[in-house]
Structure 1
């Protein structure tokens, strides 16, 4: 049997896809261990018995790790790298090295944004695989932006000099041994790169920890169900956007019943409202099986989970990879894009009417669904990792 060390940032959307893969490997008798700056997060998602090594690093929501909500575009990208991703890598590196020396894994599985995993593995001479939990970097995100791409390369070169092998040449975002992309070209589009070591495995979905009870009996089968979620976007702009969504949905209450995830409690909706169910969190995977459309921020996990169920989307990207993922949704024909900061209730209503009633969007979502399910998900990803471990012996 082999040993695998998963190196993940303390971000739910990056841990969740790895959980299903790790569970498959463990079921086959392999040793699976984790390194994360938030061990409690990994144990909550992967199970209380998960072997987790802690390490230093900024955790979202902690002082110094909160991004100003007004940042967008290049300024948001710069903040993400200079104030989060690069400090995270520097902080994680000693803990990743200690975990690797304790576990002695056959393969290090490094999240694409946990650069310490790739660079420490390189320095120790261990084979490593990339866990690409967003497809933005595989869709020409920096095409036409050579100065941005060069700036990123310079930062990664400096990081390698500090924690990796100075003589190494591989980009820590893209393993030359094995890159697992939790999407498929059906969504990414024609720019999806092709190489023997790149495998598009589609979403890796697994059971989620039980959350608060959901009022399933309140769902009205006589109306379309629309799920509204902004992930972790919960600043003032998020509150304004949810308020516009609420207006658009109430205008269509005769034919739509909305479920809104509102973790910040920004919407003043009575608990017994029959037209709009507002909850701090929802069992998203289970709910998507009974959902007709999703209105979201174009977070990669939410988009892929919706399309796994063949549900079309209205996407309102905020920052980071979200504009790229939103573009993929639109180019695939599986949804409509609106502007997060400037959209109105009227525009949101029009977009919802389009994805609910234009059969082309549902047909496109069904095509992506078929491609996702054929890709193999966690099962296929685990098989590729097992082959990499076997090749190194």
Structure 2
């Protein structure tokens, strides 16, 4: 029996993929625990019995919505990822001392996991919950890369092994990617597990009786971290859906209530949350989203094509992957109008090429093994070291 300590940021999209992997490891008789700044969030996704070690976190801060490209990346690192690593490090050290893991499984954006494990001499694996880092997003931006390398070196000197040289985003032992080359492209040295899709608690009751079996269903969601910038885009989506109400019905997820109080609308259902996996399983014909890695992978796991409107962070890279694979259409989040968004919807709903590509990725995802394959790789790593 081995022990696996998952070090994750307090972000739903980064915890979700670990839930199924942890369940598979426990089924094999292994010990499993998490380190996270939000124990309630982990237990809400993994179950009340999840063992979670506390650590400090860092506020993400309010990012100016106009930030894009290198400036948005710099803000993410300087004001969230690097402070998060420094804040988490003491809690990670205490968790390692108490839990005594054989392997630390460090989220690719939870640098404290990798660097503390390096300093303490504990083998560690990378949990890549987004494939964006595999595409070299800093290609052509040498000044940004130099700045980032300097910040990582400073961070290693503070919480890691000063003599270490490994990039904390890429373990020399094992890099687990929750995607496949059919979507993300080839990358040497990566174990492609495919999406880790596991049952999770439903956030709310959903009015299943509202759905009309005679019309296509479109799900619109911007994930859990974009309520501050999504109002205009959701309004555009509602307009485009209403224009196609003779053949399309829409479900819009609006956790921030930016569209106002939900009314009695037979064509567009506005709700604060949805049981996304259950809805996709029941039958969704297209997804409109921000190109968040989890949402994209969950849609393609079900063979559902997408309209992707990336906002920030890794989303432009993931949106490019969807478009390049032919599984969806990319639109501009801040500028798209109802006419152009409607045309993108028509493409993914009516033209067979997008659905064929989505089905191809669905087949690859399911063949990769998901949570079970990831657990096998981690089990093998623990046995080898």
- Please give the TM-score of this superposition, normalised by the length of structure 2: 0.98
The reply on whether 1:321 has 2:314 as its aligned counterpart is: yes
> Partner residue of 2:69?
73
Alignment correspondent of 2:241: 249
The question of whether the paired residues in 1 share the 8 Å contact of 2:24 and 2:371 is answered with yes
Aligned partners of 2:40, 2:58: CA distance in 1, in Å?
14
Q: Distance in 2 between matches of 1:269 and 1:67?
A: 26
Q: Which residue of 1 aligns with 2:128?
A: 132
What is the aligned partner in structure 1 of residue 215 from structure 2? Answer: 223
C-alpha distance after superposition, 1:225-251 (max 9, x if no partner): 00000112112x410111111111100
In the alignment, the residues of structure 1 paired with residue 299 and residue 268 of structure 2 have an alpha-carbon distance, to the nearest angstrom, of 20
Distance 1:59 1:356 in 2: 39
Q: Distance between the aligned counterparts of 1:224 and 1:250, measured in 2?
A: 13
116-125 or 135-144, which deviates more? 135-144
* CA deviation vs aligned residue, 1:339-390 (integer Å, no higher than 9, x gap): 0001101000000001100100000000110110010000000000001101
- Give the equivalent residue in structure 1 for 2:38: 38
Using the TM superposition, give the Cα deviation of residue 142 of structure 1 relative to its aligned residue in structure 2, in angstroms: 1.8
Structure 2 distance, partners of 1:8, 1:162, is 19
* Alignment partner of 1:92 is 2:88: yes
| 1:59-208 correspondence to structure 2 within 5 Å | 59-60=59-60, 65-189=61-185, 192-195=186-189, 198-208=190-200
Q: 1: distance between equivalents of 2:157 and 2:96? A: 19
Residues 1:23 and 2:23 are matched in the alignment: yes
Q: Does 1:6 align with 2:6?
A: yes
- Structure 1 distance, partners of 2:327, 2:379, is 34
The whole-number CA distance in structure 2 between the counterparts of 1:133 and 1:390 is 24
Are the counterparts in 2 of residues 8 and 35 from structure 1 also a CA contact under 8 Å? Answer: yes
Q: Compute the displacement of 1:66 (Å).
A: 2.8
Partner of 2:359: 366
**Could you tell me which residue of structure 1 aligns to residue 325 of structure 2?**
332
Task: Tell me the residue number matched to 2:231.
Answer: 239
Calculate the aligned-residue CA RMSD, in Å. Answer: 1.0
Q: Structure 2: how far apart are the matches of 1:46 and 1:332?
A: 32
SS in 2 for 1:386: helix
* Aligned partners of 1:7 and 1:109 also within 8 Å: yes
> 1:230-275 deviations in whole A, cap 9, x for unaligned?
112112x410111111111100000100000000112146443110
Unaligned runs of 5+ in 1: none
Task: Quote how far apart the aligned CAs of 1:75 are.
Answer: 1.5
- Is the CA contact (8 Å cut-off) linking 1:38 and 1:59 kept in structure 2? no
SS in 1 for 2:230: helix
1:35-77: per-residue Cα shift (whole Å, max 9, x none)?
Answer: 00111111111111111100011145xxxx3323232221211
Asked if the contact 1:106–1:127 (Cα under 8 Å) also holds between the matched residues in 2, the reply is yes
2:340 aligned with 1:347: yes
Residue 163 of structure 2 aligns to a residue whose secondary structure is coil
In the alignment, the residues of structure 1 paired with residue 136 and residue 27 of structure 2 have an alpha-carbon distance, to the nearest angstrom, of 36
